[in-house]
Structure 1
Amino acid sequence: MIKEAIEKILSLASINTATIGDQIFTNSDLRRVPDAVTDTLKVRNLQGIVDYLRNNFDSKMPVIVHVISPTQVNVVTGFNRDLNRSTLIEATALLPEIKFGWFYDIESFNILLQSCFVDTEQKQRILSIVGNVVDEKVVTVGDTGISQQVTAKAGIATVEPVVLPNPVHLKPYRTFVEIKQPESAFVFRMKDGPSAALFEADGGAWKLDAIEEIKLYFSKELEQLIADGHVVIVG
């Protein structure tokens, strides 16, 4: 009895491995050794992914560049023997906070437009309106009851009624700065105070445009790796 116990202890003390097919097992009960995993690298721009793949630092080619959304891109490996993928590096965009559908006071709205939107003709038009409002009242005009009108400065000593433009097409910073910010439609509204807000009005189509722009960016920056079959872009 004691001899058997000692032999059992000795058998457990040794580590034995066996390879069956392309899988590795260990010890007498042939438990399979899982693939090792590492922490995912995290960056804040698309260039970080480009630099990582061009240098092939971890020698993990071929890989898939998965454009998940306008604000997230992951680089993943092929399936390992456990039928899992490893996420090598992840890029998440650094973006300003923009609350669509939220009424800002005029000063805050002015700052928001200047700091968080690409400069365009329609942006300048809205800035001109909100920056020259002289009356806190916002009037509804038109047969539909939807159009709005405010009183704004028209010159040094004159004021006049101004009908708010709608819809307006603007380019807020909503995706990685390396690509062209997608333009989309917004409903521009004001209310007494005065205060102003922008409501998204394109049904989220801008997201598809942004994903296509990100894919185009990688197609250009990683052209040789793609041609060599080392990188596949999906999104």
Structure 2
Amino acid sequence: MIKEALQYIVNLGTAEVQTVGNQDYSTQPLHLIKEATPDQLEVRSLSGLAEYLISNFDDDGFEKRMVHVVSPTEVVAFSPFNGNYNRNEYIQAKAMVPSFHFDRWYDAEEFNIKLQSAFVKNEDRDIMLKVVGNIKEENVRQIGDDGVSQAVQAKVGVATVATVQVPNPVVLAPYRTFVEVEQPESDFIFRMQNGPRCTLFEADGGAWKLAAMKNIKEYLEQALKTEIENGKVVIIA
């Protein structure tokens, strides 16, 4: 193929072929003319991606599509490679997730709002809300000899203030993936400082990401069941 291209250029009179060390060289550069690929669509939901694939809206001659769960917040669908070993990347789904920065210190009021708006309701979240929402003084004390336990003065009744132990560790389910699937629960270290200020540290080594990607794959397998059975779609995660 390379020799044919070189010879074609030589025939046009625009280049010469020279042999050096049993290898053929052109005196002019060759540029590959690549097959065109489409611009990628972008949606914000898994249902949008599934609806696009079911519709077969873009019929480019490829019979199969592959869906790749890239991360908990990104899924792409593409074709087999073409003659230039490039793929048609049809559509990308990117999750919209609320903003919450782990390892960052929030004041008690902002942290309280974040707990309610960026986390799924569960038992540990409600316990944290009761502690953070009823703090009566700025000081946070270390208790015990384990280097972990903390306590604050908090309102525990209609007119009662007492020393309340800060829950730690806690199991929470932040909104970190597509809302169509279950948000994985994972362990967090909950810490407080004088102010009072609060923060969460992830403590599951990133295992939640694998759980979220598994949930996405299962959702798409159900949404695209007919296409999968007909051999038109393959899903990997």
Instruction: Give TM-score, length-normalised by structure 2.
Output: 0.85
Residue type matched to 1:158 in 2? Answer: T
CA contact 2:37–2:87 (8 Å) conserved in 1: no
How far apart in 2 are the matches of 1:138 and 1:164? 9
Shift of 1:137: 0.4
How far apart in 1 are the matches of 2:38 and 2:65? 16
Residue type matched to 1:57 in 2? Answer: F
Shift of 1:61: 3.3
Residue type matched to 1:37 in 2? Answer: T
2:38 maps to which residue? 38
How far apart in 2 are the matches of 1:31 and 1:167? 59
Q: 1:99 and 2:94 equivalent? A: no
Q: 1:82 and 2:84 equivalent? A: yes
Structure 1 unaligned runs (5+)? 1-11, 13-29
1:52 maps to which residue? 52
1:201 to 200, 203, 207: 203
Structure 2 unaligned runs (5+)? 1-11, 13-29
How far apart in 1 are the matches of 2:96 and 2:73? 8
Identity across the alignment (%): 50
2:146 maps to which residue? 144
Shift of 1:145: 2.2
| Secondary structure of the structure 2 residue equivalent to 1:54 | helix
Residue type matched to 2:69 in 1? Answer: V
| Secondary structure of the structure 1 residue equivalent to 2:151 | strand
2:122 maps to which residue? 120
Matched residue pairs, number? 208
- The verdict on how the C-alpha distance between 1:62 and 1:131 changes in structure 2, with shifts beyond 3 A counting, is same
1:129 to 128, 131, 148: 131
> Could you give the per-residue CA deviations for residues 86-111 of structure 1, whole angstroms, max 9, x where no partner exists?
21000111111111011100110000
1:226 maps to which residue? 228
1:179 maps to which residue? 181
Shift of 1:49: 0.7
How far apart in 2 are the matches of 1:110 and 1:100? 14
Residue type matched to 2:105 in 1? Answer: F
> Could you give the per-residue CA deviations for residues 65-120 of structure 1, whole angstroms, max 9, x where no partner exists?
00000000000100111111121000111111111011100110000001111111
